[in-house]
Amino acid sequence: MSNRLNWGIIATGVIARAFARGVAHSRNGRIVAVGSRSEETAHAFAREFHVSRAYGSYEALLTDPEVHAVYIATPHPQHVEWVVKAAQAGKHVLCEKPIGLTLAEAVTAVQACRAHNVLLMEAFMYRCHPQTAKVVELVRSGAIGRVRLIQAAFGYSAKFDAKNRFFSRELGGGGILDVGCYPVSFSRLIAGAAIGEAFAEPVAVSGAVELHPETGVDICAAATLKFASGIVAQVSTSIAVTQDNSARVYGSEGWLHVPEPWIPARESGAVKFVLHRAASSAPEEIVVKTDEWLYGIEADAFATALTAGQRDVPPMSTADTLGNMAALDAWRGCEVRS
């Protein structure tokens, strides 16, 4: 591999564009090819982002020997299919979240990449940002004492359209898979940091879900995660109501409020969160600055792990991915019980 990681992008939607802009500002990556379901959209994307090669099929991109790694930005139900095909083609894989619709699909993706000795990461970009590392550092250091409660929300309001992927069960719609995966992953991350681990798995998940009366996807949902350490997490998501999309971590000696946990400083700059110490009369503002773009940081984390010969990308390991999907399966199971 050359000094820069050659990326191919599979699909050309909104998230693919966000990733392309980020890679353009990365230290270790460049986009050399894009694949779409049509020649027209592939060439339009290539012109927009100055990509040298455009393919009218995903399969054609995977045959390109100059592509070292692929970013999979297809709709949710196609993720596992293209992870497996990319692995079979010998391409390293960064796959948009959720990596699959179920834990079983996620296992298939991980096993395929292991079998073909390629690196796999689920693209939770916020995990790679230095703000997340700083939050974890404060929790590990005992800055807020013993962690007891985590609260995290990610929800938006979308206009109903039965054909839109947000509202289609066939397309993996609903809030839990689309953005509810973020607060679950954050809660598992913090519960792990509190006990000196990379992440922790809940021993119980309970919740309530409102389903759309026409399409049956979850449009508003909340869950409680209980961890063996005693930590309780409250998470919520929605596609029918806008939430504050923040995270809070409460401990015996203080608490943290993270107003922008999910998309911190997308195009570089400063992001702030607040540390409330029980022994202090005034809150402490924590400022994290970076000159790097959010999706570029993610691409560089992947490239760094690949260059180092690691089997996982530390900010989001495959074991972490499987644990997150297990928790999401449990939360989605509340749809049946509601």
CB 100, CB 325: distance < 8 Å? yes
Q: In terms of domains, do 192 and 287 share one? A: yes
- Tell me the pLDDT tens digit for each residue of 21-35: 999 999 999 999 999
Do both 116 and 196 map to the same domain? no
Per-residue pLDDT for 112 more than 80?
yes
Domain limits at 265? Answer: 126-337
Q: How far apart are CA 285 and CA 151, in angstroms?
A: 19
Backbone angles phi, psi at 71, to 5 degrees: -105, 120
Last residue of a domain, one of 122, 153, 184: 122
Residues 71 and 105 in one domain: yes
- Structural domain count, the chain: 2
Question: pLDDT at residue 245 above 70?
Answer: yes
Supply angle C-alpha 41, 24, 45, rounded to 5: 5
pLDDT tens readout for residues 93-106: 999 999 999 999 99
Model pTM score:
0.96
Contact present, 26 and 299 (Cβ < 8 Å) = yes
pLDDT bin (cut points 50, 70, 90) of residue 1 is very low
Percent of the chain with pLDDT over 70: 99
Does 151 lie in the same domain as 117? Answer: no
Give the pLDDT mean for 133-154. 98
Confidence of residue 164 (pLDDT cuts 50, 70, 90): confident
Which tens digit of pLDDT belongs to each residue from 12-71? 999 999 999 999 999 999 999 999 999 999 999 999 999 999 999 999 999 999 999 999
